[in-house]
Structure 1
């Protein structure tokens, strides 16, 4: 791995350069030529997709800029004009995938469906592989880097997992306010159980998420949280 690809652990959004390690590209590579052609979104997308594939296959530590540019069919200067180092590239690749998943969600009208259906749809959206079949590998690699690259793991938690779980929590609270869910229901635990069920299923089988997974999870939990009049 070249020195450009190495990063230190435990930093914040932009990594600190350590002695003897230059994570930045040369200035002439990082600064676009004045008056040059505008950036091509298709090139940026190709780089981000190649980064995500490498993250799933190799993990953060083993992934190199050289591999990414080769996979994307671009040059190092092309990549470094957009991202100063591997860490910044990976953060943007993570956000790119999360946005793609959010865009793939169908509209959800909690008021327009039955409480059980609303709960089921919200659980279905928790699936990390809702839009990306390799999402479990990405999660595993980020978790494996938690001690060496805690900032990356935090990016996954804050911008991937927490918003996904927050949508389920919002749905459950709405159902609680409308009287469909018991006032004393432990919603935090329900969210953890629902989200964790996808990882438990994958760790046990290694297979794609079953089509009826959300239905089975909800069938097990709904009797414990529903209000008596919604039995």
Structure 2
């Protein structure tokens, strides 16, 4: 039986040395800082390399495109298996999900990255699939499971479409993020009420 694979092993290029996480962190920090300062259009591997104190080949070996690099810097993948926990309280779980989404999209680097990043991904479906589809599908699946559990408890109508509900949440937050409109707690509460009340069983 072969030995188990460690996280360091998973990051090691075939036939090469393991990647230095400090270099990765320096590059991703430089990306976030440059996005907030100069925006997506002016960001390049050259500017990131200068800010991080590395060479361009160092970045190319890690990320094949600007979109890959920016997406990992701004929306890093989380190791946790459960991104949308089900506590048994549908309203509280939805509010937590909306609050987490708002917090992620309100960061200066996220607001700066979104328009240009989405343009690049829209123009290249293959790039979109490689960069974000896996994570989005994972989150959608967990939201679907959350809704199905709520249906089983009688908190949500069986005919409610989880895809439509998920898109309603993401679309509302995304629209405000792109427009640069703030999303205070009152917005989170209002959107939560729309989702929960709209999905609740009818009297």
Q: TM-score of the superposition, structure 2-length normalised?
A: 0.70
Query: CA 1:219–1:85 in structure 2 vs 1: closer, same or farther (change >3 Å)?
Result: closer
Number of residue pairs matched by the alignment: 187
Q: Contact 1:115–1:180 (CA<8 Å) still a contact in 2?
A: yes
Which residue of structure 2 aligns with residue 225 of structure 1? 199
Pick the structure with greater CA Rg. Answer: 1
Q: Does 1:84 align with 2:61?
A: yes
* Displacement of 1:173: 1.7
Q: 1:226, CA displacement in angstroms?
A: 0.9
Offset of residue 220 of structure 1? 1.9
Q: Secondary structure at the match of 2:148?
A: helix
Q: Show the counterpart of 2:145.
A: 170
Matched, 1:136 2:116: no
Q: Which residue of 1 aligns with 2:7?
A: none
CA contact (8 A) 2:83 2:142 kept: no
Alignment of 1:1-231 (within 5 A): 40-54=20-34, 57-59=38-40, 62-74=42-54, 76=55, 79-81=56-58, 83-84=60-61, 87-88=64-65, 90-95=67-72, 97-99=74-76, 108-111=85-88, 114-127=89-102, 129=104, 132-146=107-121, 148-204=123-179, 206-228=180-202
Contact 1:48/1:89 (8 A) holds in 2: no
Asked if structure 2 preserves the Cα contact closer than 8 Å seen for 1:201 and 1:209, the reply is yes
Query: C-alpha separation between the residues in 2 aligned to 1:143 and 1:151?
Result: 13
DSSP 3-state at the match of 2:185: coil
User: Is the partner of 2:101 in helix, strand or coil?
Assistant: coil
**Hey, what's the Cα distance between the residues in 1 that align with 2:108 and 2:188?**
17
Contact kept in structure 2, 1:142 and 1:153, CA below 8 Å? no
Distance 1:150 1:64 in 2: 21
Change (3 A) 1:95 1:41: same
Superposed CA RMSD in Å reads 3.5
Give yes or no for contact 1:52–1:94 (8 Å, CA) kept in 2.
no
Kept after mapping to 1: 8 A contact 2:140/2:163: no
Provide structure 1 residue ranges, at least 5 long, that are not aligned to the other structure: 1-30
CA distance 1:101–1:214, change in 2 (3 Å): farther
Q: TM-score, normalised by structure 1?
A: 0.63
Structure 1's 155 and 139: CA in aligned 2 closer, same or farther, altered over 3 A? farther
Q: Secondary structure at the match of 1:201?
A: helix
